[in-house]
Structure 1
Amino acid sequence: MEPAAPGPPGNSNLITLFLCGDVMTGRGIDQILPYSNPPAIHEPYMETATDYVRFAEKVNGPIPKPVDFAYIWGDALEELVLASPDVRIINLETSITTSEDWLPKGINYRMHPKNVPCITAAKIDCCVLANNHVLDWGYAGLAETLETLKKAGVSTAGAGDNLDQAEAAAIMEVAGKGRMLVFSLGSVTSGIPPDWAASENKAGVNLLEGFSEKTVRAIAESVREVKQPGDIVIASIHWGSNWGYYIPPEQRAFAHQLIEKAGVNIIHGHSSHHPKGIEIYQESPILYGCGDFLNDYEGIRGYEKYRGELTLMYFVSMEAGTGKVCHLEMVPLQIKHFRLNRASREDRQWLQETLTREGKKLGTQVKEGSHHTLILKWE
């Protein structure tokens, strides 16, 4: 299958972002990488992370072990080269640590720090961390995660040694085009334990106090403190349940208010295990749920109707200086053998129909693009 070629006609005044959903490189995926942690896990129905590898192989055949660091990205690497985005942002939903200080929460994700080249293999610029797995292996695990990514040259947002650090934006310069500010925010609706919230003297995540106007005002103040003319602001939010297409009215209202009152240009939503509907509001994209991007769920039954193995690369092109969205193109992929593979024609069509069905409620639809991509259209 020929590779896609996402992106609008050449325009030097555009900033193009790569966004995706949850990147879960712990547990089973960690076991196939060169420096895996001990496989023991603490789940009600599973005792070892290698069982996740076994389930995947039972369904789709052997996975070569150990794989190289770039393996998990599969066909996505070529798509990144073709799209050449200015900034690459992922929700990293795992702790990068050898800590044994696991928290009794049912599911605990961790990746060995020596496997961090699997993140840099895709030239990721920023990992947002305000999610419900970054503290799975305790505060020592969080500290090691932050230090490992810092040493690897990857920016982070959404977690820190205290509240100031957790609330701080990741700031990235785009040569000749301006700055990108990334704020990472988490909600208890995604399963983040309330006591994970960072405070003045306590490490943790940037946890939202609901979706109220008071919360919007606080975020607006944080944006004003660092935003300069021409900056583009992303609010990356871990919110909502894992399954289902329903978008609660309070989430939609909150997203609208962040755009109207807090100067946010893009809402990058995640937590859902499958892609959800997309909205364009006041020339700003709202990705309510980007779906899982990489996980070890192959062979795990349940919720098959949502096709959680199908995922999307989101390439968002915005006008430098104004943040106005000009183009949103998606590359459909399938998770198989713990790597990303180009989706079949039938699977692309299924995603197109699903996103159009859900987007109709939000004023958007999805059309087939050239070279096997999907393009968002809006009113």
Structure 2
Amino acid sequence: MSPTRRTVLATGLAGLGGCLGTASESQADCPLSVDTTARHRLGFVGDVMLGRGVDARWDDRVPTGVWGDVTERLRALDGLFLNLECCVSARGQRHPGRGYYFRAGPAWAVPALTGVGTSWAGLANNHLLDFGPVALADTLDHLADGEIPTAGAGPTRQAAFEPALVTVGDLEVAVVALTDQAPLYAARANSPGAAYVPLDPDNPLTRQWVGGALERARETDPDLVVASLHWGPNWDVDPSATQQAFAHWLVDHGVDVVHGHSAHVIQGVEVYRGRPIVYDAGDFVDDYLVKPDLHNDRSLLFELVVDDGTLRVLELVPVEIVDSSVTLADDEAAAWLRDRMRQISAPFDSTFTRAGAGLRLALSC
């Protein structure tokens, strides 16, 4: 086990005393002034949908334009982790019976992703097979050519559940990607698809497949383990009791960061045993119609600060989608996001402090 991983475990799973006694205690008592010599900043965002209208807008322009004025902030990260809510291909036939089809041209989409230093793209979602197995195979090939690690989909079920090992600076991060959406897109023993499984800790199939994936992730001796989950119904503003139980189960089984997405809206953030659980990061970029009451065009860039092996703070940067690109939120949208996050995280006793236009959540001391 690496020294970093030993430190993380010592401050989390085995170190529940002192100011890690509860989430609220840790947030209130832990200092935020830390030595930056061994600091890493990892970014997590929700759904990145580069197809349809986004594809039409950016396929013949500067690819990184899709990231707007967030570009330099993303480039400054040590690592960026996202859910890719589309296939990347110029081929394939539409899967019958679907309402929406998302496909991005590889000529611009791959440079867009690499242009902001994407460290990992999650493929466990309900759109990777929109244009069939040919487009899924293309997606894997194009991202591999761009040196972007992936997890969550593959030519077989075993491959879809295989963790990715991502190098971020001198950190080794193992990532498992899972979804409980679109069972028709599930990978089978000998057919391609997504890492589909009911995300319920009481389900024997879940314990078998997810437990096996986590065991293989731990065998790589990583510094951090991330579980990226495309889960739950659209437009739900609160995670279900089952989702909360599964997130806790993951942490209890060695996961350091729970990275949720799929609802198209942000959900609350919980600190459990010193680990951040982002129940839903919302939509980072897309061309979707906006529901005025839910503001699905507003979300957050979640920046996790890992300092000398310790999960230190989670910083939340407000963003919004404007004209098929992402931009830093204006004052009104940022204020709404701060208020909203405090409200929906209150059931988890998560206490935020103001950090510029955004928020900061202490994880440990």
TM-score of the superposed pair, with normalisation by structure 1: 0.82
Choose the corresponding residue for 1:32, options 47, 57, 65: 57
Which of 99, 103, 118 is the equivalent residue of 1:106? Answer: 99
Which residue is 2:196 aligned to? Answer: 207
Write the letter of the residue equivalent to 1:369: A
Tell me how far apart the structure 2 counterparts of residues 283 and 258 of structure 1 sit (CA, whole Å). Answer: 13
Matching residue's letter, 1:348: A
- Please show how residues 113-262 of structure 1 align to structure 2 within 5 Å: 113-115=106-108, 116-176=110-170, 178-188=171-181, 192=182, 194-213=183-202, 214=204, 215-216=206-207, 218-227=209-218, 228-229=220-221, 231-260=223-252, 262=253
Other structure's SS at 1:142 match: helix
Structure 1 equivalent of residue 9 of structure 2: none
Q: In the aligned structure 1, how far is the partner of 2:340 from the partner of 2:363? A: 16
Distance (whole Å) between structure 2 residues aligned to residue 155 and residue 342 of structure 1:
27
Q: Distance in 2 between matches of 1:339 and 1:9?
A: 34
Deviations 1:127-184 (A, max 9, x none): 00000111100011101111111111111100001122111111012343x3100110
Deviations 1:1-51 (A, max 9, x none): xxxxxx9755233432110000000000111123xxxxxxxxxxxxxxxxx
Q: Does 1:273 align with 2:259?
A: no
C-alpha separation between the residues in 2 aligned to 1:90 and 1:276? 16
> How many pairs were matched up?
328
User: What CA distance in whole angstroms lies between the structure 2 residues aligned with 1:366 and 1:351?
Assistant: 12
Could you tell which deviates more after superposition, 154-163 or 240-249? 240-249
Cα pair distance change 1:218/1:320, threshold 3 Å: farther
- Tell me the CA shift for residue 246 of structure 1: 2.1
Q: Give yes or no for contact 2:79–2:117 (8 Å, CA) kept in 1.
A: no
C-alpha distance 165-8 of structure 1, shift in aligned 2 (>3 A): farther
In the alignment, structure 2 segments of 5+ residues that lack a partner are 1-31
Q: Taking structure 1 as reference, are residues 375 and 210 closer, same or farther at Cα in structure 2, changes over 3 Å only?
A: closer
AA partner of residue 176 (structure 2): F
Give the secondary-structure state (helix, strand or coil) at the position aligned to 2:245. helix
What is the Cα deviation at residue 245 of structure 1?
A: 1.2
- Match in the other structure for 1:348: 334
In the alignment, is the contact (CA less than 8 A) between 1:128 and 1:158 conserved in 2? yes
For 1:358, the equivalent position in structure 2 comes to 344
Residues 290 and 312 in structure 1, CA contact (< 8 A), matched pair in contact too: yes
SS for the counterpart of 1:290 is: coil
Against the structure 1 CA distance between its residues 351 and 360, is the aligned structure 2 distance closer, same or farther, given a 3 Å change threshold? same
**CA distance in 2: counterparts of 1:13 and 1:216, whole angstroms:** 35
In structure 2, relative to structure 1, the CA distance for the partners of 1:10 and 1:233 (3 Å cut) is: same
Counterparts of 2:234 and 2:312, CA distance in 1: 30
**Aligned position for 1:310:** 298
TM-score, normalization by structure 2: 0.85
- Give the Å deviation of 1:242: 1.8
Counterpart for residue 263 of structure 1? 254
Q: Is the 8 A contact 2:275 2:363 kept in 1?
A: no
Matches within 5 A, 1:279-318: 279-297=270-288, 300=289, 303-318=291-306
CA contact (8 A) 1:182 1:234 kept: yes
